[in-house]
Amino acid sequence: MSFQRPASVTVILLFTWLLTTPAQAAMVRATSPAKNMVALDVEDGETVAKGDTYCIIGPKKKPVDCGKVVKIKGKVAVIALASGAKIGKIKKGMVAKNSGGGSSVAGAGAPDDVGDSAAAPTAKSKAKNDVRSSGSSPKGAPLRLWLLADPAPASPFTYKQITYKAPDGTATPSTLWAPGKAPGLAIFSFGGQIGIPIGSSAINLGARMRTFSPPSSVDTDYTVGVANPYANTAVSAKSFGGWMDYQLMHKAISPTLFFNFLPGLDLDYSTVSVTATKKNDNAPDSGSIVTATSKLMVVSLRLGANVDVFFGKSFGLTIGGTALIPLAPLSPALTASFPTGEERGLADPVTDLKTALGHKKNSIGLEALAAVFFAF
């Protein structure tokens, strides 16, 4: 006699088998934290296709993270995760289950081979890489050019805006100069910079030109108590500079915002001009008192910090500042021409002028920075 199983029992057994049979699965082979990718060993008999979504199952039988298949090589499937936030929790040997197509993880382009953990960027990471590739991505920074303004609240050098001091009486004066107002600020300051890739970092080479505003122009007595002639003293300054910075840090704050820290060296070449002239009201000038030029180079240590803001793949703004620590003055020199009699009895009027002018290295320098940049 044959026994025939009721149809209801068959359905129950089939349903029980489906519940107890694991879904298509694979095993974690390797991870690539730098690319947010995971390589999976696919089980024999399992069907896998690009676009399938696999979820890595953790110790508590809960998904750690999910990713979409972006490459298949033999029995190895590579998935790209949405981010690297949880990749550290994924370990070799963990089970990955195929949940089919359709995932919150966006599709990706062609992958790059990195051994068994080869994969392509997801749409989210690809968007970041599109921006980072124009900034300074870890796999090769591009060539960049900046057009910049870097006004200096404090320059690497300092000087005094002196004024002519008329001798008092018939005795030989101790000096012909009196302190004037504080040096002008370097408001007009423009330059350029080029960023040269060095591995994952870069060397930035720059140059600038500065003028100090406003130049001083002060009228004082040429002879004490006498209105004409009087002395007019004009003092002006300008400088040219160059620097080399090393991009020690280039940290992503967001896909379009990056923080940079750049130590380096700075060379500043400054010129201070002094012209004192005898003038008369309603009459031609009576002649020159002195014409002088002081020159100085200063080597400084640079400590720069700034932020890059990208508005596209190859264009953006850089805003920040730099502190300069002047280390040494180089080749200080002053040339001065006093017409006969204008030394007013001083044995060494040139040294007197040099001391009064005080053109020397500063104790500290401070620069602001606003620039537009282009990446190539």
CA distances from 108 to 40, 50, 82, 227 (A): 17, 10, 11, 84
Per residue in 38-62, pLDDT tens?
A: 999 988 778 888 888 889 998 878 8
pLDDT band at 128 (very low <50, low <70, confident <90, very high): very low
Does this model's pTM top 0.85? My answer is no
pLDDT above 80: residue 96: yes
pLDDT one-digit tens code per residue, 306-348: 999 999 878 999 999 999 999 999 989 999 999 999 999 899 9
Q: Tell me the CATH number of domain 134-375, given options 3.20.190.10, 3.30.750.24, 2.40.160.20, 2.60.40.10.
A: 2.40.160.20
| For the chain, domain boundaries | 24-121, 134-375
Highest average pLDDT, of 100-104, 124-128, 199-203, 263-267, comes from 263-267
Strands (E), 106-175: 144-149, 157-158, 163-164
Higher pLDDT, 66 or 264: 264
* Greatest mean pLDDT range, 73-87, 99-113, 126-140: 73-87
Which pLDDT does position 285 carry in this prediction? 81
Spatial contact of 46 and 98, defined as CB atoms under 8 Å apart? yes
Give, in order, the Cα–Cα distances in Å from 325 to each of 157, 279, 301.
11, 42, 5
Cα–Cα distance between 244 and 267 in angstroms, integer? Answer: 9
**pLDDT band with cut points at 50, 70 and 90 for residue 201:** confident
Of 2-11, 148-157, 171-180, least confident by mean pLDDT is 2-11
CATH number of 24-121: 2.40.10.170
Q: What is the mean pLDDT of residues 69-97?
A: 87
